[in-house]
């Protein structure tokens, strides 16, 4: 059974060129579309496209980490020095776990789709 969930938030709409309320529509915790409440424009999302965006964002986060760490050192040197050793050791594992969760979720959905009986059978 499909579970639809709608969350309201404010975004800029390319349709009406205004910032305003939008509904993000999720089906079984997967974002499927955005709906502008001002003009009614709907933007569908596809899992493949979302996965590509996620991968691009992950690479950007990895590449900008040194700069962000440098800024953190400038803002609060004591805190950064105290937490840095643990963070350096655990960061690769946290990244791997995050990526595995995203990839495993996609594999799990593909497996469920294959295992589900087709309506015309």
Query: In the prediction, which pLDDT does 28 show?
Result: 65
Query: In the prediction, which pLDDT does 107 show?
Result: 52
Q: Of 30, 23, 22, 37, nearest to 3 (Cα)?
A: 30
Q: Is the dihedral of CA 39, 45, 49, 55 positive or negative?
A: positive
Instruction: Give the span between the Cα atoms of 97 and 84, in whole angstroms.
Output: 20
**pTM of structure:** 0.52
Query: In the prediction, which pLDDT does 110 show?
Result: 43
Contact between 24 and 9 (Cβ < 8 Å): yes
**pLDDT tens-digit map of 7-18:** 999 999 999 999
Instruction: Give the span between the Cα atoms of 43 and 22, in whole angstroms.
Output: 11
**pLDDT tens-digit map of 63-118:** 999 999 999 999 999 999 999 999 999 999 998 888 887 777 555 444 344 444 44
Instruction: Give the span between the Cα atoms of 78 and 104, in whole angstroms.
Output: 38
* Number of continuous H segments (helices) and E segments (strands) in the chain: 2, 4
Which are the contacts of 56, defined by CB distance < 8 A and separation ≥ 6? none
Locate the domains of the chain by residue range. Answer: 4-44, 47-115
Confidence band (pLDDT; 50, 70, 90) for 52?
A: confident
Q: Of 118, 116, 110, 112, nearest to 48 (Cα)?
A: 110
């Amino acid at each position: 059974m499909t579970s639809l969930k709608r969350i309201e938030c404010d975004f800029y709409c390319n349709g009406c060129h205004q910032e305003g309320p939008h509904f993000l529509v999720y089906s079984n915790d997967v974002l499927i579309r955005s709906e502008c409440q001002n003009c009614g424009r709907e933007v569908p999302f596809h899992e493949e496209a979302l996965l590509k965006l996620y991968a691009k964002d992950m690479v950007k986060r990895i590449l900008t980490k040194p700069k962000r760490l440098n800024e953190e050192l400038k803002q609060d040197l004591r805190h950064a020095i105290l937490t840095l050793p643990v963070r350096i050791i655990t960061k690769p594992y946290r990244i791997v776990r995050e990526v595995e969760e995203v990839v495993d979720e996609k594999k799990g959905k593909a497996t469920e789709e294959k295992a589900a009986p087709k309506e015309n059978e």
